């Protein structure tokens, strides 16, 4: 069992969670992930590691409460225990040797982009972070991202933070203003990563994306996380999650990610209705 040592909300739908898992904390690196299971009847859910404290033996994740399992995780409190918390899984990001890097994050993808930027910044790399959210109300990790970047650009779809636009707008402006990037890292919704890669390909800038497809076992055996990269089948859990963004078939990825949308909604709604009934009975 893995004890929750710290938990708090970042916004109405997103929580931060720190779990005591010393063996994982001792080996974790940016880009890797864990798979958790709340109890014996729970499903296996992958979450990218958002941070770790080797001395304290803790591993942090940031998650959005969108399905049954993540909603149940959001209902847990500090001191509660999770049945399974497995990792670190996946291949660590290769981040050494770069002079200047643009780190692009979209929505919850900022939870994954942040540790990448932090590692680069600590290595002396010049880091420009460009992140996007639907509105100012759901912006997360602003102080943390500002602390690990030379410049931080936050854009919102509706302009509610005073800076309307897409991350591609911010990246293009940086490039056309003279920024010379050795690497662009893009992490967020597949559609966002697709258009970032389309832009960087025009300028010949190496671009790495982090894939988060449907995943079950995390060891490459189930094949659920397969993605097409450079015309070949890869498994995100063992070959990734980082891939050359210019070779990823994003259209296929987007179609596969939508396959179980109806089932996810059904499971979420059934759980929420059950909790409403339980709360009503307690009154």
- In the chain, domain spans: 2-89, 100-210
Q: Quick one: which H or E segment has residue 8? A: strand 2-9
- Please tell me the pTM assigned to this model: 0.84
Q: Are 276 and 234 in contact (CB under 8 A)?
A: no
247 pLDDT band (50/70/90 cuts)?
Answer: very high
Helices (H) and strands (E) in the chain, counts: 8, 15
Q: What is the mean pLDDT of residues 198-210?
A: 96
The arrangement of secondary structure in 100-210, i.e. its CATH architecture, is 3-Layer(aba) Sandwich (3.40)
Per-residue confidence (pLDDT) for residue 255, from 0 to 100:
87
Distance from chain centroid for Cα 95: 17
Top-level class of domain 2-89: mainly beta
Q: What is the pLDDT averaged over residues 139-154?
A: 95
Place of tokens 């005591």: 20
For the segment 96-113, the average pLDDT, to the nearest whole number, is 94
């Amino acid at each position: 069992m893995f004890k929750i040592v710290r938990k708090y909300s970042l916004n109405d739908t997103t929580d931060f969670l720190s779990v005591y898992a010393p063996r994982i904390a001792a080996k974790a690196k940016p880009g890797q992930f864990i798979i958790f299971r709340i109890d014996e009847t729970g499903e296996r859910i992958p979450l990218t590691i958002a941070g770790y404290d080797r001395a304290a033996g803790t591993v942090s994740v940031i998650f959005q409460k969108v399905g049954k399992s993540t909603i149940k995780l959001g209902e847990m409190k500090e001191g509660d225990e999770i049945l399974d918390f497995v990792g670190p899984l996946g291949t660590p990001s290769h981040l050494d040797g770069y002079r200047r890097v643009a780190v692009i994050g979209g929505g919850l993808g900022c939870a994954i982009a942040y540790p990448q930027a932090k590692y680069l910044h600590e290595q002396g790399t010049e880091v420009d972070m460009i992140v996007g959210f639907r509105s100012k109300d759901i912006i997360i990790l602003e102080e943390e991202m500002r602390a690990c970047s030379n410049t931080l650009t936050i854009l919102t779809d509706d302009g509610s933070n005073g800076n309307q636009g897409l991350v591609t707008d911010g990246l293009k402006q940086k490039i056309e203003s003279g920024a010379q990037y050795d690497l662009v890292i893009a992490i967020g919704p597949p559609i966002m990563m697709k258009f970032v890669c389309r832009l960087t390909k025009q300028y010949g800038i190496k671009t790495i994306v982090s894939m988060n497809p449907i995943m079950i076992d995390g060891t490459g055996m189930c094949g659920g996380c397969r993605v097409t990269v450079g015309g070949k089948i890869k498994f995100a859990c063992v070959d990734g999650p980082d891939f050359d963004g210019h070779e990823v078939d994003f259209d296929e990825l987007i179609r596969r990610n939508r396959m179980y949308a109806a089932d996810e909604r059904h499971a979420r709604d059934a759980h929420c209705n059950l909790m409403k009934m339980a709360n009503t009975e307690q009154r």
